[in-house]
Amino acid sequence: MPKFLSTLLLLFLYTIICQAQQTPYFKDVTTQAGITFKHENGKTDHKHIIETMGSGVVFFDYDGDDDSDLYFVNSGTNPDKNIRNPDIKKHFENALYRNDGNGRFTDVTGESRTGDTGYGMAASAADIDNDGDSDLYVANYGQDTLYLNNGDGTFTDITKQAGIDNTQWSIAAVYLDYDLDGDLDIFVVNYLVYDLSMPVTKYKGVIGYGHPRSYEGTTDVLYRNNGDGTFTNVAESAGLENPSEGRGMGAVAFDYNHDKYPDIYITNDTSRNFLYHNNGDGTFTDESLFLGVGYDENGTAEGSMGVDSGDYDRDGLIDLIIANSEKATLYKLERPEKDNIYFTDSTVTSGLQQPTLPYVGFSPLFIDYDNDGYLDIFSANGHPQDVIEILTDHETYGQQDQLFHNNGYQTYTEVSEQLGDYRNEELVGRASAFSDYDNDGDIDIVIMNSNQRAILLQNEGVSKNNWLRIKLIGSQTNRDGIGSKVIVKSVGIEYIAEVKSGSGYASGSDIRLSFGLGKAKTVDSIIVEWQRGIRQELNKIEINQTLKIKEPIKHTTGM
């Protein structure tokens, strides 16, 4: 081949490679997917602090057709305004979108009867009665709502008869089986004591949203599932009340010490964070100071927002990522000896501190967006103060979201350009959740923005790595398998994940477990450690599929 032709060929190949590297992984498909939801916060000249907090979103399969539907939480009109209920429902209700399985969604709020009109903050979905379909908890500023899934596409509001009486300012809700009795309990995070009659807050003579330290904290709620359709708040007897320090913004339930009892990590806004160790006797003990996750490495109580858990360094231990008002915090779980467990602040060494410092992070997610087997990080960002650009010359209200690629050496590199063109908009990010909504093997993301449109990002799957998705179906353990762990072994590598409810900020992601396998051609074995004690093993599993695993009634080594 002539030399000039060889050179042209090399240039051509180089151009193709560069273009492939520059092609974003994610594409904004909100409009073509049929999603028209826009968050409304009912903003007023008074600037009530509730107006700036945004609200959450949940990916869950409400109709049992094996694809993820979407539930959007709306805040709505100022609760103090006298607006007729029909008008509230028309403009401010929450929305349920059914996944039609063809890349599009249909708004089924009316027929499903899930259009809650409270001043909404968060939602979470799980099967509270073990009947095979997902129920829905909505956290509000004011009375919360619990919807029971009827199994026919409709829901029934069972709030009152179920004993759900939380009227505080709730901002997150997660499901867990804290007492290992086989049904799901509900932990609700409450934020501040705030009343609409409180005076305005001014900064340099300008009315703005109040600082969280200007208000008292409040207690959280643990609803024990009584197994008969009712719940009892046992937070006080369980040792989960700390109103003097509690300004809760997020929570994740995970078993950090592998004793099968779920522990609870709570992020607090400008107060130290809590890590409640489950003692296994119905009580919890806050071990945050002893384990090193109450403050950052400088001993600072951060303005913490959302939180997620996952094994980012593939050492078999569950780590934490927290979004804060200045920088993210990455806590790595260490276990040098069996009974010696602690966390180390790995934010600086991981490369996350500098790129996250200019932003106010709200909703962090551990996701393996390229299926290479390592958990990457997504963060929805946005400032809580809408007059910040008047008060400072270096901060903005709208902020760009961020994506960080896991390099596989306990370090991250920012690759936010992979999120696509939507980042050119001035968006005020709040909540986010993930799922493979189109069942093509890669993780997609939904984002909620304050008083702006929601965004659905479809993963274009540029890497073409292999994957495996696992859905657990409990029999003695709760039906969703929440609290159970799955270990996937492939080509000498182990991946561990725990089924959990709630992630990010005020939201819930798909509870199916997704494992990126890189170029692996097979899975050697899968080990399921069911929360109630059964250990189940499957061997020689085909890749690139969604696998349903049912919990056996008695111990077995296969299916």
Please write the tens of the pLDDT for every residue from 417-436. 999 999 999 999 999 999 99
Per the CB < 8 A criterion, the answer to whether 120 and 114 are in contact is: no
Judge contact between 78 and 44, C-beta under 8 A: yes
429 token code pair:
């990010």
The single-letter DSSP state of residue 445 is E
DSSP annotation of 424 reads G
pLDDT, tens digit (0-9, with 9 covering 90-100), for 95-106: 999 999 999 999
Confidence of residue 542 (pLDDT cuts 50, 70, 90): very high
Neighbours of 429 (CB within 10 A): 29
Position 177 pLDDT exceeds 60: yes
Instruction: Give every CB contact of residue 287 below 8 A, 6+ residues apart in sequence.
Output: 275, 276, 277
Question: Can you give the pLDDT at residue 79?
Answer: 73
| Least-confidence region, from 463-467, 519-523, 542-546, 551-555 | 551-555
Q: What are the distances in angstroms from CA 435 to CA 54, 99, 356?
A: 21, 12, 24
**Nearest CA among 475, 450, 339 for reference residue 399:** 450
Three-state SS sequence of 368-401:
CCCCCCCCEEEEEEECCCCCHHHHCCCCCCECCC
Listed residue (387, 453, 410, 202) closest to 314, CA to CA: 410
120-138: pLDDT as tens digits: 999 999 999 999 999 999 9
Residues counted in the chain = 559
Per-residue confidence (pLDDT) for residue 24, from 0 to 100? 78
How much is the pTM? 0.94
CA-to-CA distance for 139 and 389, rounded, in angstroms?
31
What pLDDT is attached to residue 556? Answer: 47
Burial of 342 (0-12, 13-18, 19+ CB in 10 A): middle
Residue 244's pLDDT is 82
What's the maximum distance between 2 C-alpha atoms anywhere in the chain? 83
Q: Residue 66's Cα: distance from chain center in Å?
A: 20
For the segment 476-488, the average pLDDT, to the nearest whole number, is 98
| Closest listed residue to residue 263, CA positions, set 213, 307, 214 | 307
